[in-house]
């Protein structure tokens, strides 16, 4: 549940906000004046303040100034009628998050509010490094016990205290953004704003003005002056995500801010001084881009003052079990009972090469929780590509165990994700591969035995229900139990 405080002296506006934000996820509070709003902020601790500009008593701009003194991290959206956008822009210079024009375009308003709430969440949710997995009440952590991650944690600690620019590199989904937020949380700027901008998500021609702002009339479509993220984030930390592809002009401008803390808005001629700590990230090989002259070498060295290279998940397989534990708890929610993971499923996960890294693992767990029917997650609950992309070998009795001992296992591409009905084909293929590798395996009886064991585990030994789950008669099930000599061996952690 997120709290929004609306400060507006018009009852109509308050009414329409109540209707627009009538949602179980949002708690909307209202204040009819700047003074009342300021009184309510320490009591309500809202995630976002939306204030009108023109009000009797304290106006929006003064209210904003005082909010910034009270809590520099609290995000403020300004509302303004068309005629007063100049003042709204002044407000942006004072650190307002953005402004909305009245009358509202409701979808735009909602999108802006969602964006602001996300930014507020990211800022307020402290990312801790390697929380003890026993603690119940963490929800944002960088998990990892492996050696490469220990080295990352050390670097986070060392660089957080310094003001240096940090460059975080690593494949997609390795946690670059999470690490950026951890650095911010441990830094001296933790009580100042943190803003993130995804450079790849913004069209090239707009990125420059998004970062540095522009003057009215500086290009077609620049109908208003705009304050850029660097200026807005004065005193804080700016996370420049996907820094790999930027135009030469933008690169030059970024270099200049990093070197002497100055910038010019697009089409402007005044020099503006800013104090912003930059944390940059990319999944591209910047060294190659430098070699190909796509990325300025001097900018690269300026960004690369401190480099944090996040290892891909397949190079720190020891972390998988900890991450699985973490996500099972996290996804169960506070007070929820986390699902367990069966050892076979964990082994499959530990053997998979995770091209999408931690993000892919998190998604796999999320899916497994949804599809899993029992108390514990089984291999069949895992996404097809995880099962099929895993080289399977025969192993200990009582379990289909995956291992990645075959050469090149880590580099093997995942099978294309197939719809749920094709799960069995993929599974059969994986099993058949196993059979081919080891003709002594007797794949059909082995699988049959496993299925019977799983069904009995699931039903706590109830043969009638187990038979039903497997689509066979009880008599057949009993025959299998005898034939395979199955006893109740519960292999669930």
Ligand X SMILES: Nc1ncnc2c1ncn2[C@@H]1O[C@H](COP(=O)(O)OP(=O)(O)OP(=O)(O)O)[C@@H](O)[C@H]1O
Task: Please check whether residue 75 is in contact with residue 107, taking contact to mean a CB–CB distance below 8 angstroms.
Answer: no
Cβ distance to ligand X smaller for residue 177 or 350 = 177
- Cα atoms in the Cβ-side hemisphere of radius 13 Å centred on 345: 26
Closer residue to ligand X (CB): 172 or 252: 172
Give the binding site for ligand X (CB under 6 A). 141-144, 170, 172-178, 283, 323, 326, 358-359, 362
* Residue 174 near which of ligand X, Mg ion, none (CB within 5-8 Å, type-dependent): ligand X
Q: Give, to the nearest 10 degrees, the angle between helix 176-186 and helix 147-161.
A: 40
Give me the least distance between CB of 62 and ligand X, in Å please.
Answer: 38
Residue among 84 and 282 whose Cβ is closer to Mg ion: 282
Minimum Å gap between C-beta 37 and Mg ion is: 34
Token digits of residue 394: 């025969």
Specify the residue, 173 or 379, whose C-beta has the smaller distance to ligand X: 173
Q: How far is the CB of 178 from Mg ion (least distance, A)?
A: 8
Q: Which is nearer to ligand X, 91 or 279 (CB)?
A: 279
CB of 221 to Mg ion, least distance (A): 29
Nearest residue relative to Mg ion (C-beta): 177
β-partners of residue 402 are 392
Residue among 164 and 331 whose Cβ is closer to ligand X: 331
Number of H helices, E strands in the chain: 20, 18
Helix (H, G, I), strand (E, B) or coil at 468: helix
Q: Residue 210 binds what, of Mg ion, ligand X, none (CB under 5 to 8 Å, by partner type)?
A: none
Chain contacts with Mg ion (rule: CB under 5 A): 176-177
| Nearest distance in Å: CB 362, ligand X | 5
User: What does the H/E/C string look like for 26-42?
Assistant: EEEEEECCHHHHHHHHH
H or E, element range at 2: strand 2-7
Give the C-alpha separation, 492 to 376, whole Å: 7
Structure tokens at 488: 């109740």
Comparing CB distances to ligand X, the nearer of 177 and 231 is: 177
253 binds, among ligand X, Mg ion, none (CB under 5 to 8 A by kind): none
Rounded Cα–Cα distance for residues 266 and 210 (Å):
10
Q: Which residue has the tokens 């021609």?
A: 205
Closest CB to ligand X: residue number: 175
Residue partners of 192: CB distance under 8 A and separation at least 6 = 72, 73, 235, 236, 237
Q: Residue 359 binds what, of Mg ion, ligand X, none (CB under 5 to 8 Å, by partner type)? A: ligand X
CA 372 to chain centre: 24
Give the shortest CB-263-to-Mg ion separation in angstroms. Answer: 24
Residue closer to ligand X (CB basis): 64 or 196:
196
Instruction: Supply the minimum distance, in Å, between the C-beta of residue 179 and ligand X.
Output: 7
Long-range contacts of 297-302 (CB under 8 A, 24+ apart): 298/255, 299/251, 299/252, 299/254, 299/255, 299/258, 302/165, 302/255, 302/258, 302/259
Partner from Mg ion, ligand X, none binding residue 244, C-beta < 5-8 Å depending on class? none
Q: In this complex, which beta carbon is closest to ligand X, that of residue 58 or of residue 320? A: 320
Toward Mg ion, which CB reaches closer, 52 or 177? 177
Cα gap 173→387, rounded to integer Å? 20
143 binds, among Mg ion, ligand X, none (CB under 5 to 8 A by kind): ligand X
Question: Which listed option, ligand X, Mg ion, none, makes contact with residue 172 (CB within 5 to 8 Å by class)?
Answer: ligand X
347 binds, among ligand X, Mg ion, none (CB under 5 to 8 A by kind): none
CB of 323 to ligand X, least distance (A): 6
C-alpha closest to that of 175 among 121, 223, 127: 127
What is the end-to-end Cα distance of the chain in Å, rounded?
A: 34
Q: How far is the CB of 173 from ligand X (least distance, A)?
A: 5
CA distance 148 to 209: 38
358 contact choice in ligand X, Mg ion, none (CB below 5 to 8 Å, kind-dependent): ligand X
Q: Residue 356 touches which of Mg ion, ligand X, none (CB < 5 to 8 A by kind)?
A: none
227 binds, among ligand X, Mg ion, none (CB under 5 to 8 A by kind): none
Say if residues 77 and 96 touch (Cβ distance below 8 Å).
yes
* Residues 406 and 436 sit within 8 Å (Cβ to Cβ): no
**Residue 418 and residue 388 in contact, taking contact as beta carbons nearer than 8 Å:** no
For ligand X, which is the closer residue by CB, 142 or 402? 142
* Residue 240 DSSP SS3: strand
C-alpha of 415 from chain center? 25
Q: How far is the CB of 327 from Mg ion (least distance, A)?
A: 18
Least distance from ligand X to the Cβ atom of residue 164, Å: 20
Distance between CA 74 and CA 68 in Å, rounded?
7
d(CA 63, CA 50): 11
């Amino acid at each position: 549940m997120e709290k929004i405080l609306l400060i507006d002296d018009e009852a109509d506006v308050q009414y329409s906000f109540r209707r627009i934000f009538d949602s179980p996820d949002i708690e909307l509070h209202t204040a009819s004046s700047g003074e009342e709003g300021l009184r309510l902020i320490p009591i309500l601790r809202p995630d976002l303040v939306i204030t009108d500009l023109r009000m009797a008593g304290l106006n929006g701009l003064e209210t904003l100034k005082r909010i910034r003194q009270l809590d520099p991290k609290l995000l403020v959206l300004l509302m303004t009628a068309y005629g007063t956008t100049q003042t709204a822009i002044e407000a942006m210079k004072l650190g307002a998050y953005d402004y909305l024009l009245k009358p509202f375009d409701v979808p735009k308003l909602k999108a802006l509010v969602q964006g602001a709430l996300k930014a507020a969440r990211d800022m307020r949710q402290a990312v801790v490094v390697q929380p003890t997995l026993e603690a119940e009440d963490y929800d944002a952590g960088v998990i990892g016990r492996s050696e490469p991650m220990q080295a990352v944690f050390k670097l986070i600690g060392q660089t957080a205290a310094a003001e240096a620019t940090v460059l975080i590199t690593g494949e997609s989904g390795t946690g670059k953004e999470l690490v950026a937020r951890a650095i911010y949380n441990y830094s001296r700027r933790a009580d100042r704003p943190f803003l993130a901008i995804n450079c790849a998500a913004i069209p090239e021609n707009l990125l420059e003005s998004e970062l540095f702002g522009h003057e009215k009339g500086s290009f077609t479509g620049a109908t208003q002056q705009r304050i850029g993220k660097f200026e807005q984030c004065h005193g804080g930390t700016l996370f420049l995500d996907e820094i790999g592809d930027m135009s030469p002009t933008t690169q030059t401008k970024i270099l200049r801010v990093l070197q002497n803390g100055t910038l010019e808005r697009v089409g402007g001629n005044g020099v503006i001084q800013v104090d912003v700590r930059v944390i940059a990230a990319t999944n591209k090989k910047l060294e190659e881009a430098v070699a190909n002259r796509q990325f300025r070498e001097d900018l690269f060295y300026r960004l690369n003052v401190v480099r944090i290279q996040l290892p891909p998940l397949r190079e720190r397989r020891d972390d998988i079990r900890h991450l699985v534990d973490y996500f099972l708890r996290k996804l169960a929610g506070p007070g929820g009972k986390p699902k367990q993971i069966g050892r076979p499923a964990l082994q499959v996960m530990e053997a998979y090469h995770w091209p999408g890294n931690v993000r892919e693992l998190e998604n796999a767990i999320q899916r497994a929780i949804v599809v899993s029917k029992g108390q514990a997650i089984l291999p069949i609950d895992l996404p097809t590509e995880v099962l099929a992309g895993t080289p399977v070998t025969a192993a200990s009795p009582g379990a289909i165990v995956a291992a990645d001992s075959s050469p090149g296992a880590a580099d093997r591409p995942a099978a294309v994700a197939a719809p749920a009905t094709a799960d069995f084909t993929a599974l059969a293929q994986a099993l058949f591969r196993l059979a081919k590798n080891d003709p002594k395996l007797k794949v059909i009886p082995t699988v049959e035995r496993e299925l019977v064991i799983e069904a009995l585990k699931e039903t706590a030994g109830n043969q009638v229900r187990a038979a039903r789950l497997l689509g066979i008669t009880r008599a057949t099930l009993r025959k299998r139990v005898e034939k395979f000599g199955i006893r109740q061996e519960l292999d669930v952690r």
